[in-house]
Structure 1
Amino acid sequence: MKLLHVDASPKSENSSSRTLSRYFVDQLRARLPLLSIDYLDLAAEAPPAITELFARATYTPADERTAEMREALKVSDALCARLLGADALLFAMPMHNWTMPAAFKAFVDTIVRGGLTYVATDDGRYVGTLGGRKTLFLTTRGVDLRPGTPFVAMDALTPSLRAAFGFIGVSDPVFVDAQPMQFAHEVERAAAMRRARVELSTLAEAWGSIEPRAALSKVG
């Protein structure tokens, strides 16, 4: 199995999402000794902001793009290739202001690409090309947004991730959310981390018992 592991926290050693993502990778590797990791740190390698040239290039047929357009798409082309080359996807991030960190939003804007991560069919549908990949969104939240809590309606992160990645073919992602963290007492933070580790161990067990996909879904 080849895992694309993406961290998006701007913190380094003090990052809870990074701590948990490393824990999951260790748990998965214990079950899959031949696990291959493609690691991307968006805090160190954030995609460039979307420009007018990038936007025009994405909607210009490939054989009509200028050299300048092709250059503007190089980072996006490479990131899309890394996504498409993976068997499984791990995206770890903190919640920032109720949604995703800026670096991860830039990543999403860069990898939602017509002709690469989704295609338009002759009958007017849009079909994602990332089907068949196990996908984990691992998030840390400052407050508790679980059902029944006062802030539950403030969660803009989960639906935005489901929408963006669902459009490119990720139909059944798993969410493991450590919460509450930043705005909580130490005992609550510790409990949140324990709950997340239990969920991650269970998921690693499930992923480790599944053979890598024989073939990706293809769009005819």
Structure 2
Amino acid sequence: MAQLLRLDASPRRSRSHTRTLAGEFVARWSASRPDDTVIRRDLGHEPPPHVTEEWIAAAFTTPGERTPRMREALAYSDQVVDELFAADVLVLAVPMYNFGVPAMLKAYIDQIVRVGRTFAFDPEAAAPYTPLVSGKRAFVIVGTGDAGYEMGGPLASMNHVEPYLRTALGFLGIDDVEFVYTGNDEFGGERLQRSLERARNRVAELTTERKAVDVAG
């Protein structure tokens, strides 16, 4: 039995293509694996707090020396880090905003990249940073206004969503990451519908592939 952690970063509701596709992904997954559980965190509607000076001081203080106020400053971070460790699979629904991730998702990443919790730091070591999160797979559904931002596409050089998330997740130890793209939201019409259909087909492939892997294993 596995646990999925679904993260929605769009402030849109029914008009969000990434929310819709993430919902379809989870529905297909759950249909083939009814014993799995799903945890959902809606970053778009319940934005994480930003990192503050108090948060930084608390994070870099050893747990035994933290004051009650420091523990309070880290309460949200502790919660989302615990969710991350409990999950086997991450499903991220991410609209591209001005070539990068929404501020809500960036704030979430800042809350889960924690020294001593999700990565270790030894300034004397040859490799000072050690990932502490392992054995997880991530699926990222990206929605864009234009099309061609995927790696190898004509607008790939302007895509700072995929490189950033691969770097941030990889830094923690999550290297198995698949991206699904849907574009043409600003154009609408047939172009948008064709893009959504390609994304749905990719979602179907990935959920079928995962099922096959489970059966083979």
Give the match for residue 136 of structure 2.
133
Residue 28 of structure 1 and its aligned partner are, at CA, apart by 0.7
Residue 148 of structure 1 and its aligned partner are, at CA, apart by 4.3
Give the match for residue 191 of structure 1.
194
Change (3 A) 1:148 1:18: closer
SS of aligned partner of 1:83: helix
Deviations 1:36-78 (A, max 9, x none): 0011101222111111000111111111111111110000000
Change (3 A) 1:84 1:138: same
Q: Does residue 28 of structure 2 align to residue 19 of structure 1?
A: no
SS of aligned partner of 2:145: coil
State whether residues 29 and 207 of structure 2, in contact with CA within 8 Å, keep that contact through their aligned partners in structure 1: yes
| Aligned residue among 195, 205, 208 for 1:205 | 208
Q: TM-score scaled to structure 2, two decimals?
A: 0.92
Give the match for residue 161 of structure 1.
165
Deviations 1:124-177 (A, max 9, x none): 43122222111111110111124342x321111111111111100111200111
State whether residues 136 and 176 of structure 2, in contact with CA within 8 Å, keep that contact through their aligned partners in structure 1: no
Give the match for residue 45 of structure 2.
44
Give the match for residue 33 of structure 1.
34
Determine what percentage of the aligned residue pairs are the same residue: 33
- Give, as a single letter, the amino acid of the residue that structure 2 aligns with 1:21: A
Deviations 1:159-217 (A, max 9, x none): 111111110011120011112322x24111001100101111111112223349x9xxx
Residue 17 of structure 1 and its aligned partner are, at CA, apart by 0.4
SS of aligned partner of 2:106: helix
1 CA distance for matches of 2:178 and 2:107?
A: 22
2 CA distance for matches of 1:167 and 1:5?
A: 20
CA RMSD of aligned residues (A): 1.7
2 CA distance for matches of 1:119 and 1:15?
A: 37
SS of aligned partner of 1:110: helix
Give the match for residue 58 of structure 2.
57
Give the match for residue 171 of structure 1.
175
Q: TM-score scaled to structure 1, two decimals?
A: 0.91
1 CA distance for matches of 2:94 and 2:157?
A: 20
State whether residues 144 and 184 of structure 2, in contact with CA within 8 Å, keep that contact through their aligned partners in structure 1: yes
Give the match for residue 80 of structure 1.
81
Q: Does residue 109 of structure 2 align to residue 105 of structure 1?
A: no
2 CA distance for matches of 1:131 and 1:207?
A: 18
2 CA distance for matches of 1:91 and 1:185?
A: 23
The runs of 4+ residues in structure 1 deviating greater than 6 Å are none
State whether residues 137 and 175 of structure 2, in contact with CA within 8 Å, keep that contact through their aligned partners in structure 1: no
Deviations 1:111-132 (A, max 9, x none): 1011111122573431222221
